[in-house]
A and B are shown apart, each in its own frame.
Chain A
Amino acid sequence: MKIYDGWKIILGIVIGIAFFTMPIWLNLSSAQSKVKPKLVYPTDARQCIDDKDYMNHYHMDLLNYWRDSVVRLNMRYVVRNGVVLTHNGQKLEMSLTLTCLKCHSDKKNFCDQCHNYLQVKPYCWDCHVQPKEALK
């Protein structure tokens, strides 16, 4: 059975299948596809603001809530059950730089690991200067 315009149709099929299987070829052609994020957790700190699962899934919601509380409502401290949380006798501020990054000081080996792995680009740093200790 003759196929009219055969080479055009074959070319179309090849391009189409190549497009949909692109992720396979991209992965197979890169050794990096086996690389996974490696998180370095703080060694000196004992406890985070919340449990690991919550922080893993919802830290962005928490930070967003902090931003709104501080900037819009002028509420500066982390309150749980009506009590301001403290750390080493100091009140805990709702602040990425003053609280989170105090323990998680190695941004490159903590935050960036997953963010880069998943193309997450928080736009905080478009305006805010990255803290020096976090930059190293």
Chain B
Amino acid sequence: MGIQLSLLVTVVILLAGWVAGVLPFLKFIFGVILPYVALAVFAIGLIVRVLRWARSPVPFRITTTCGQEKSLPWIKQNKLDNPSSALGTLGRMALEVLFFRSLFRNTKASLKDDRLVYSVDKWLWFFSLAFHWSFLIIFLRHFRFFTEPIPFFVGFLQDIDGFFQVGLPIIYITDVAILVALTYLFLRRIFNAKVRIVSLPSDYFPLLLILGIAVTGVLMRYFLKTDLVAVKEFAVSILSFQPISNELLNKLSPLFMIHFTFVCTLLIYFPMSKLVHLGGIFMSPTRNLANNNRMKRHINPWNPVVAVHTYEEYEDEFREKMKAAGIPVEKEE
């Protein structure tokens, strides 16, 4: 059921984008108003989500540790998997964010001869990493449409990405990678029964949406070409708050409008979906805290104030009586 619903929603957005590419009135709404709404929802939504997480108290270090804790000097500490310093924590976070280190530990449970067997499974890690890096590089390459002058990194990324110089326009490695990786991630949810049973529309839909963006983008680059100068004038105008003429809007092809509508949908959907793990990963308390529970005192903020009567006060109060009864005291007076 989840797949059909996600598919339906994706197709409706596709059709909306396509109709917007044909009807001038809708084109204005989808081309000029929608992007500003999308950018605002994305930015404000992301901030709200992060601040909401930030308000949770962090009284204690709840790191998940995968190595030797800092201990006696002759016991070797695993500084990355069980960091006790800020630097070590930074290292662990960097490995997590850039290379998905936790996911690398992913295992697969299966029944072999009626026995439960856990085995190594790196495919999810591999395709997931391929997808995320491709997305980032494609986003950064798109700066050739977004800004004038074009930042220095675009040319560099284009050269590396098109290293093999296959075809014309040169086929980007990331274009192939993102399509293959998204296909894997989607099929995994369909054919792996253990994953399918926990999959919801909110799992299928983001994959389909991003697949929609990638497919329309690839179509535009290699097959059904668009007026790129118009696209850039349009994008730069949006991103520098300049008015957009109807003439310019007319030059934007329906295929581009589909690509663009998908992207705006992604921006709006982002903060209210699981995709917000973009911000969430930095807020994971099991990853971003140093394991210094035994080195520093961490005070729980909601501990009630307890009236205490320390031994010193007790002795002060009863010293004379204790002495008289022959009970030893710490201070003589």
Of A23, A28, A63, A123, chain B has the most CB atoms within 10 Å of the CB of A23
Over the window 53-64 of chain A, the binary record of Cβ atoms lying under 8 Å from chain B Cβ atoms (1 yes, 0 no) is: 000111011011
* A131 CB within 8 Å of chain B: no
Main secondary structure of the interface of A (DSSP, over half): helix
Residues B133-180 near A (CB distance < 8 A): 143-151, 154-155, 158, 165, 168-169
Residue of B nearest to A26 (CB): B147
Do A33 and B148 touch across chains, with their CB atoms under 8 A apart? yes
Do B168 and A60 touch across chains, with their CB atoms under 8 A apart? yes
* Cβ–Cβ < 8 Å partners of A22 in chain B: 143
* Cβ–Cβ < 8 Å partners of B47 in chain A: 13, 17
Do B225 and A58 touch across chains, with their CB atoms under 8 A apart? yes
CB distance from A50 to the nearest CB of B (A): 14
Interface residues contributed by chain A, number (CB under 8 Å): 39
CB distance from B249 to the nearest CB of A (A): 16
Residue of B nearest to A3 (CB): B54
How many Å lie between the Cα of A56 and that of B227 in the bound state?
A: 7
* Cβ–Cβ < 8 Å partners of A2 in chain B: 57, 301
Do B151 and A26 touch across chains, with their CB atoms under 8 A apart? yes
* Cβ–Cβ < 8 Å partners of B57 in chain A: 2, 4
* A21 CB within 8 Å of chain B: yes
Of A33, A57, A61, chain B has the most CB atoms within 10 Å of the CB of A33
Name the one of B143, B144, B147, B301 contacting A33, with C-beta atoms under 8 angstroms.
Answer: B147
Do A117 and B232 touch across chains, with their CB atoms under 8 A apart? yes
Do A9 and B54 touch across chains, with their CB atoms under 8 A apart? yes
Do B149 and A57 touch across chains, with their CB atoms under 8 A apart? no
Over the window 271-315 of chain B, the binary record of Cβ atoms lying under 8 Å from chain A Cβ atoms (1 yes, 0 no) is: 000000001001100000000000000000100000000000000
Residues A18-42 near B (CB distance < 8 A): 20-24, 26-28, 30, 32-37
Do A23 and B232 touch across chains, with their CB atoms under 8 A apart? no
Do B282 and A12 touch across chains, with their CB atoms under 8 A apart? yes
Do A27 and B239 touch across chains, with their CB atoms under 8 A apart? yes
Do B50 and A119 touch across chains, with their CB atoms under 8 A apart? no
How many Å lie between the Cα of A61 and that of B149 in the bound state?
A: 27
Do A60 and B169 touch across chains, with their CB atoms under 8 A apart? yes
CB distance from A80 to the nearest CB of B (A): 21
- Besides the contacts A17-B47, A21-B39, what 17 more A-B pairs have beta carbons closer than 8 Å? A2-B301, A4-B56, A9-B50, A9-B54, A13-B51, A16-B46, A20-B42, A27-B147, A27-B240, A33-B240, A34-B242, A36-B233, A58-B225, A117-B148, A118-B228, A119-B150, A119-B158
Task: List, sorted by A's number, 9 A–B pairs whose CB atoms are closer than 8 Å.
Answer: A2-B301, A5-B58, A9-B283, A13-B46, A20-B42, A33-B240, A37-B229, A57-B226, A63-B168
